[in-house]
Structure 1
């Protein structure tokens, strides 16, 4: 990407998903975008501004979404015990802690949010029928164990899928909204990452971990409901 992405121009990179009432960011949330909203960058790999942000927990991601929504005057999607104002959540991002209280989402809100797994998988297919997002050859569309050099890479360097979405296979895994029914604090991610093998970057593959965990191979992508 030639142009950097901050909260001021993030709306220009939101892609309307055909046949669905939501739009999705064309790339993973970059470190530049994340820092423009949160004021800090917790990532491990920091060589370029267009690297995807990583080492963010699921809690950090929902916090980010509400802050970004506030910057645009949109209705925040998330609330903790009914409170949408992140300043009242008693939560400090990037500290390895968890949000105390029940995190809920307002399905009628027009702000930024994490995709559901169903939304993520639909967008990742891109209206196509490939093994990975955009191709049957992972090297064409994603950074994974065999080609990553054990690190993340700037977003949008590989071929996009049919909806013009980049890096939905590989680079960093992407948090989704959904919780694991066997563990209420476990949250799912999709897409595989730079240190996974090809199989784990395939369509339909998901992983889960505790919502407070932050890894250097796990980031996220944002969506907005467009029918609100």
Structure 2
């Protein structure tokens, strides 16, 4: 991730200056036979992911309409590791890829679904011997149980297909990044911005918000044995990082204030 140092928190951020045009939240969005009232769900508070899952047309999976919020994460994990807080519906961040995988299994268990990920055949994350947010590599192999019906991270292909929304825009939902994404929040060499509540910009045609900008989103795919891909760019990224065809890679144990995730579920699974 392109980065500059922010003296306030010692983290590193990307350089890109821009102006922002605030847009209202769409009251509801539809996708095939699935209709999601995003505004109502956010106002109520997201504690069940199923209320915001959108079926992807022509594909056998559904995807969360927004990035995983701090409220949803805390309702499942009992804690919030984010560097930014104080506002409702902020995306959760400061998460490693391992943390995101653990969340998926915990959420699946909460909603009485079959967890997707396992270590040595064990799906109970309490038995994995992993301590969240420790910035350390987890040696055991995490496997994807493809017949399980629970929540998981999208593949890069799934993420990019959903982000395109059946259109040919450079960014998710528009060729004008200011309309659909938060990005480039720095002044000179100092990062001055932060994450923003989800679904404040316009969605793409599938009704998915913030797939360009706000926070990078972890994907399942590996770049190497210790690195995983993430997509979408963040609030402090260059515009090119927010293009739907762009992907980045980072160490799976890494977490930062511009790195979060969203979840998918294979819709053919019952």
With the shorter chain as reference, the TM-score category is over 0.9
Match of 1:165 among 208, 211, 215: 208
CA contact (8 A) 2:185 2:194 kept: no
Correspondence 1:225 to 2:266? yes
Deviation, structure 1 residue 126: 0.7
Given that 1:185 and 1:210 are in contact with CA atoms closer than 8 Å, whether structure 2 keeps it comes out as: yes
The number of residues matched between the two structures is 224
Residue of structure 2 in register with 1:113 after alignment:
152
Deviations 1:182-214 (A, max 9, x none): x21100000011111111111200100100000
User: Is the partner of 2:43 in helix, strand or coil?
Assistant: coil
| Structure of greater Rg | 2
2:137 alignment partner in structure 1:
98
Deviates more, 1:130-139 or 1:141-150: 141-150
Residue 146 (structure 1) shift: 4.8
Cα offset, 1:129, TM superposition? 1.1
Alignment of structure 1 residues 202-213 onto 2, 5 Å: 202-213=243-254
Q: Are the equivalent residues in 1 in contact too, given 2:61–2:265 (CA < 8 A)?
A: yes
Q: Work out the CA distance in 1 between the residues paired with 2:138 and 2:123.
A: 13
Aligned mates of 1:4, 1:206 — CA distance in 2: 30
8 Å contact kept, 2:137–2:226: no
TM-score by length of 2: 0.81
Shift in Å, 1:164: 0.2
Matches within 5 A, 1:66-145: 66-145=105-184
- The ranges of structure 1 where at least 4 consecutive aligned residues each deviate by more than 4 angstroms after the TM superposition are 146-149
Q: Secondary structure at the match of 1:60?
A: helix
Task: Give the whole-Å Cα distance in 2 for the aligned partners of 1:88 and 1:199.
Answer: 40
Note if contact 1:56-1:219 (Cα within 8 Å) is conserved in structure 2. Answer: yes
TM-score (norm 1): 0.95
The answer to whether the 8 A contact 1:96-1:214 is kept is: yes
**3-state DSSP of counterpart to 2:193:** coil
Q: Which runs of 5+ in 1 are unaligned?
A: none
The residue aligned with 1:43 is: 82
Aligned to 1:178: 221
- 1:97 deviates by 2.5
Q: Provide the aligned C-alpha RMSD in A.
A: 1.3
Distance in 1 (CA, whole Å) between partners of 2:211 and 2:193 is 18
Q: CA deviation at 1:149?
A: 4.8
